[in-house]
Structure 1
Amino acid sequence: MLQRLLSTIALTSALLFSVTTFASLKVGDQAPDFTMKGSDGKTYSLSDYKGKQNVVLAWFPKAFTSGCTIECKSLAENGHLLKEFNAQYFMASTDDASDNERFAQETKADFPLLSDPEGEVADAYDVSFMGYAKRHTFYIDKTGKIVMIDKNVRPAKSAEDMAKYMKMLSFEVVSD
């Protein structure tokens, strides 16, 4: 009986692991559409930008924590580097909208912080981990295709790195 139970547990674990492995997003995949509330009170959907703008979606674990504060301030203080491109950039977390609104105010974020308190979008992007989001940044082209996933985000250099990657990915430069 114990042997059968252990075999069932092993098989279930293997099936769950294989489903997770196949569910992982990769470069070339269509980005999952999302609709999330922003720190500015507006609602944002990926589909709103299709055919118009590239989108950069930077997931972060938790508002008001050290690394996330550093990353958000990097984007707020160096947003001029990002605004050179025809791209909408967001930070996103599983925090409540009210927390992200206060966090955006505290860090002087001049861009939307998106909230996914139920974690459904984080799950779709395969960044969910124990109720938080992993610090991964998705670069999505105008067709909705994922063209890069940065899993090694450096919070203090986040804006500089985003600008470098947008240039490397040939994101359209906004003309003056």
Structure 2
Amino acid sequence: MSRFFVFIFSFFSFSFLNAQNLNIGAQFPMNKIENLEQSSNLKIIVFTPSLYKTNTYASMMTTSLNYYFVKNLAFTSQNLPKIDVIYIVNEDDKWSKEPNKIFTFNESSNQNKLDGTKVIYDESGKIYNAIGLKPFKQNSVSTIIPTNNFSNNVLVESSVLFLVDQNNKILMRDNDYRAQGEHLKPLEKLVKRVLKIDEIKINFTKNNTLKVGDKAPDFILNGPNYKTNSTEKFLDDKSTFKVLTFYPAAFSGQILPDFTSIDTKAAMTCAAQIQLIDHNPLLKDVKSYAISSSTNPLLEVWKSALRTNNIMYLNDENYTISLMYNSYNRLGYNNRATYVIDKNGIIVYANPDLTFEDEAKFPVILEKIILNSK
């Protein structure tokens, strides 16, 4: 598809969407959604093309929203919020036609986590049209990619997500929602700000720029594998190399696969980033840490979902470590960054803007670092 037609399609889609009164500050027409009970709770409403296996990001999207906002694992407050998560699906319920409808990580084809949410199937697009959104099936141009499950190309358009307050006022609209950490964390940040709970105050002026040869900043190790009042420091262990990898968010990355094998051609995602490091054969010679701003319970289930064996998950709740290591993004998440620190606490590899190509080459880079040290 030429760039010209992509531009024309995007322009008219953007113009059409903006023509509707569904922007931030407007009232969301909740009364136009049939079979939806009135609620005084905060609401996350997701208009999605599909929750079936042909939608490659559906399982990560439903899983992340479930653990963050239905089970409330993103919050540490004792006064947990009540948040309604609602999916309006522009398709029929194809899962109901499957012989085994199992919503667990162990079922490879259906990993959707929908317990505690409201799912409304709107195959004809009646609700979409009623509120002023164009149904996905009516789009003249579609984004298509091949998947491992199907030989044909399939529709993978981004979902449209709204955050709506207790009075149905639109607080956020995201036209490109696929459970990316870069989108999930700003949503979490806004929810906490609106509810006035667990807000993180960041004293951000600039990140600390680090380069090869610098002394690595030290910090207290905090995460699901450490005691609450742990005093263990990152640089205390001087017996081995250490790998620090920063990523935007737990349960992000568009795809939540079964992780029985490593796909080196997969798109750069938080899950793929962690998996590649965890399966690195050189891990016997290093200690590897994955860092995000999260909660320990959320990191526990994230670890369980990824089925990692070697990597340690660190919780950088207020982004203190991220600011030390030049990975904090002022929008409220970690940029992808990786550092290698030697036995003396000196940085021997620094990449504050990691790409998937960089990550794929990382095992070779790490091998050279270790061999050159002997």
Q: Distance in 2 between matches of 1:156 and 1:126?
A: 20
Does the 8 A contact of 1:116 with 1:122 survive in 2?
yes
Offset of 1:69 from its aligned partner?
A: 1.5
Match of 1:134 among 335, 338, 341: 335
Question: Where does the alignment leave 5 or more consecutive residues of structure 1 unmatched?
Answer: 1-18
Question: Where does the alignment leave 5 or more consecutive residues of structure 2 unmatched?
Answer: 1-204, 254-268
Aligned residue in 1 for 2:246: 59
Matches within 5 A, 1:7-22: 20=206
Secondary structure of 2:364's aligned partner: helix
Matches within 5 A, 1:6-155: 20=206, 23-41=208-226, 45-50=233-238, 52-66=239-253, 67-76=269-278, 78-79=279-280, 81-84=281-284, 86-110=285-309, 111-130=311-330, 131-155=332-356
Q: Which has the higher contact order (CA 8 A, sep 6+)?
A: 1
When residues 24 and 154 of structure 1 are mapped into structure 2, their CA distance, relative to the original with a 3 A threshold, is: closer
When residues 156 and 33 of structure 1 are mapped into structure 2, their CA distance, relative to the original with a 3 A threshold, is: same
| Structure with larger Rg | 2
Q: TM-score of the superposition, structure 1-length normalised?
A: 0.73
Offset of 1:137 from its aligned partner?
A: 0.2
Secondary structure of 1:138's aligned partner: strand
Offset of 1:41 from its aligned partner?
A: 4.0
Q: Distance in 2 between matches of 1:108 and 1:129?
A: 28
Please state which structure has a larger fraction of its residues in helix: 1
Q: More deviation in 88-97 or 140-149?
A: 88-97
Letter in 2 for 1:58: T
Root mean square deviation of aligned Cα: 2.6
Q: Distance in 1 between matches of 2:329 and 2:206?
A: 12
Q: Distance in 2 between matches of 1:155 and 1:106?
A: 21
Give CA deviations for 1:148-170 in whole Å, capped at 9, x if unaligned. 11245344884x53321111213
Q: Percent identity?
A: 23
Letter in 2 for 1:162: F
Does the 8 A contact of 2:326 with 2:352 survive in 1?
no
Offset of 1:83 from its aligned partner?
A: 2.4
Q: Distance in 2 between matches of 1:154 and 1:82?
A: 20
Q: More deviation in 103-112 or 35-44?
A: 35-44
Does the 8 A contact of 2:282 with 2:367 survive in 1?
no
When residues 171 and 118 of structure 1 are mapped into structure 2, their CA distance, relative to the original with a 3 A threshold, is: farther
Secondary structure of 2:221's aligned partner: strand
Letter in 1 for 2:344: T
Offset of 1:25 from its aligned partner?
A: 1.2
Q: Distance in 1 between matches of 2:271 and 2:357?
A: 9
Q: Distance in 2 between matches of 1:170 and 1:69?
A: 25
Equivalent residues, number: 150
Secondary structure of 1:105's aligned partner: helix
Offset of 1:95 from its aligned partner?
A: 1.7
Aligned residue in 2 for 1:11: none
Q: Distance in 2 between matches of 1:31 and 1:134?
A: 18
Offset of 1:39 from its aligned partner?
A: 3.4
